[in-house]
Chains A and B, each alone.
Chain A
Amino acid sequence: MSEKAMIELVGVQKSFGNLTVLKDITLNVKRGNVVALIGPSGSGKSTLLRSVNLLTVPDKGFIRVGDQAIDFSTAQNLPGDKELSAFRARTGMVFQSFNLFPHMSVEQNVMEGPVTVLRQSKDEARALAHDLLGKVGLAEKASAPPDSLSGGQKQRVAIARALAMKPDVMLFDEATSALDPELVGEVLAVIRSLAGEGMTMLLVTHEMAFARDVADRVVFMRDGCVVEEGEAKQVIENPSQAATKAFLSHFHGGLGPS
């Protein structure tokens, strides 16, 4: 099964009112691969990422993550809250704005999924939370409130919270875009180490050097379409499409070694 795609999207379409945001997207992410999604703002990257874990329910198309699949073109009735929740429990997602639960401590944030969704005991979940917080370098912050953390620390807690569900895949939506420049590195380092462990990841990013160095493949989107897809180094250093070239020309200087 290692050659089989871990994430498979076929013919995914989504409109908001009469604005078509995703036009027939087909995309695969192999098990253990890292795919970077790049493109101008408003091109539909977030909507695509949110479709993978059904935070946004597509109008049409087939979506598979691991062994869970839903075909929105043929489905008689849309999946309900229970099915959607079960599907989402197997994917981890990290947001630009962290979205930590402010009324819970760092440790409780990480325990929330295992306790409430997976029905683990508190002790078991706490042990897991401590492992994961150690892994993202925040073991000593377990009892701190999220408000007391820096942006980079918050995002690392958010990553630990997602990992606590032992997801099949991780989705990152501009995980470093809200961070002060000096805090970007610590979050990218965590993502990089996840890549090293073989986590399957789909990430929206504007960090082109990081995409080139860490991603296996890069997908360039514009206006709801995949314009170009290929091996990471090739797409970023030597894109074949004029639109990709034009987009990447904004990032010169940001393409040094990372």
Chain B
Amino acid sequence: MQYQWDFGFLLQYKSLIGVGILYTIAFTIGTAISGLIVGCLVALARLSSFRILTAFVTGFIEIFRCTPVLVQLVWCYYALPILTGIELSPGAAAFITLTLYGASFFGEIIRGGIISVDSGQWDAGRAIGMRRHQLMARVVLPQALRRMIPPLVNQTVLQLKNTSLLSVLAVPDLLYQGQLITSASYRPLETYTMIAVIYFIILFPLTRLAYRLEARMSR
């Protein structure tokens, strides 16, 4: 196949691409933070001894883990307003969906990290008179966190990839901007190649970091 590659024309779209990168990164960071916060609450609820709360939160997690994010996004944007009467902007619908989706995975990682700490650590802390919250903050979480960091970084990588689904709601993320450029320039090959390369450049260091952290943990 003799295709004449020409990336030069993309320069004229650099501000469009810039906006796309900004949206992708902002959504990733924003929903990683909100997802971690909600994920902490999810983990605490799953570990609590209130049966009803635990069952409710477990159900919530399963719904988000067992349906595709794309379906959740579309449902949140098109179906939720019909059910509740609350109109959401595409950005808000996307933010909420990615937060809850992320939280259901972050929450399980956090819970797993907490229960992986040996029960003898709880015994030892209690035996010197530590309160539950002191034990959690000074003994359990510092140990759990080390084990949680590699899977949390991996989940954040997935979270960034998932932001590409925002394009279906016309949120101007990197992929959506690519679609715009393609329809204006009729050069999908260069455009989508560049989009893929930008994702790679952002994610490669992050995945390397996850590997390094994992290697350090397993020592």
A-B contact pairs, 19 of them (CB 8 A): A53-B127, A85-B129, A85-B130, A85-B131, A88-B129, A89-B128, A89-B129, A91-B127, A95-B124, A95-B127, A99-B123, A101-B124, A103-B142, A103-B143, A112-B128, A112-B138, A158-B124, A161-B128, A162-B128
CB-defined contacts of A82 to chain B, threshold 8 Å: 131
Q: Of A55, A102, A116, which contacts B127 at CB under 8 A?
A: A55
A140 interfacial contact with B, CB 8 Å: no
Q: Of A88, A90, A161, A165, which contacts B126 at CB under 8 A?
A: A88
| Known A101-B125, A113-B128; further 5 A-B contacts with Cβ < 8 A | A89-B129, A101-B124, A103-B143, A117-B129, A161-B124
Contact (A81, B128) CB under 8 Å given A99-B121, A101-B139, A102-B143: no
CB-defined contacts of B121 to chain A, threshold 8 Å: 99, 101
Within 8 A of A (CB), among B123-161: 123-132, 134, 138-139, 142-143, 146
A85, B143: Cβ atoms under 8 Å? Answer: no
A97 interfacial contact with B, CB 8 Å: yes
Type the 1/0 row for A90-121, where 1 means its CB is closer than 8 Å to any CB of B.
Answer: 11110101011111000000001100110000
A78 interfacial contact with B, CB 8 Å: no
In the bound complex, what is the Cα–Cα distance between A86 and B131 (angstroms)? 9
Most buried by B among A55, A81, A85, A89: A85
Type the 1/0 row for A60-101, where 1 means its CB is closer than 8 Å to any CB of B.
Answer: 000000000000000000000110111011111101010111
CB-defined contacts of A103 to chain B, threshold 8 Å: 142-143, 146
Interface size on B, residues (CB 8 A): 19
CB-defined contacts of A84 to chain B, threshold 8 Å: 126
Q: How many residue-residue contacts, CB under 8 A, span A and B?
A: 65
| Cβ of B77 to closest chain A Cβ, rounded Å | 44
B128, A99: Cβ atoms under 8 Å? Answer: no
Q: Of B127, B134, B138, which contacts A88 at CB under 8 A?
A: B127
B8 interfacial contact with A, CB 8 Å: no
B85 interfacial contact with A, CB 8 Å: no
| Residues of B in contact with A (beta carbons under 8 Å apart) | 118, 120-121, 123-132, 134, 138-139, 142-143, 146
Closest to B133 in A: A81
In the bound complex, what is the Cα–Cα distance between A164 and B124 (angstroms)? 13
| Cβ of B177 to closest chain A Cβ, rounded Å | 45
Most buried by A among B125, B127, B129, B142: B127
CB-defined contacts of A85 to chain B, threshold 8 Å: 126, 129-131
In the bound complex, what is the Cα–Cα distance between A100 and B132 (angstroms)? 17
CB-defined contacts of A102 to chain B, threshold 8 Å: 143
Contact (A116, B138) CB under 8 Å given A55-B126, A162-B128: yes
| Cβ of B139 to closest chain A Cβ, rounded Å | 6
| Cβ of A77 to closest chain B Cβ, rounded Å | 16
CB-defined contacts of B146 to chain A, threshold 8 Å: 103
B134, A116: Cβ atoms under 8 Å? Answer: yes
B130, A92: Cβ atoms under 8 Å? Answer: no
CB-defined contacts of B123 to chain A, threshold 8 Å: 55, 93, 95, 99
Contact (A165, B124) CB under 8 Å given A103-B143, A116-B138: no
In the bound complex, what is the Cα–Cα distance between A103 and B142 (angstroms)? 7
| Cβ of A205 to closest chain B Cβ, rounded Å | 18
CB-defined contacts of A158 to chain B, threshold 8 Å: 124
A165, B143: Cβ atoms under 8 Å? Answer: no
In the bound complex, what is the Cα–Cα distance between A89 and B128 (angstroms)? 5
Closest to A96 in B: B120
Most buried by A among B123, B124, B126: B124
Contact (A116, B143) CB under 8 Å given A99-B123, A99-B124, A100-B124: no
CB-defined contacts of B127 to chain A, threshold 8 Å: 53, 55, 88, 91-93, 95, 162
A81, B132: Cβ atoms under 8 Å? Answer: yes
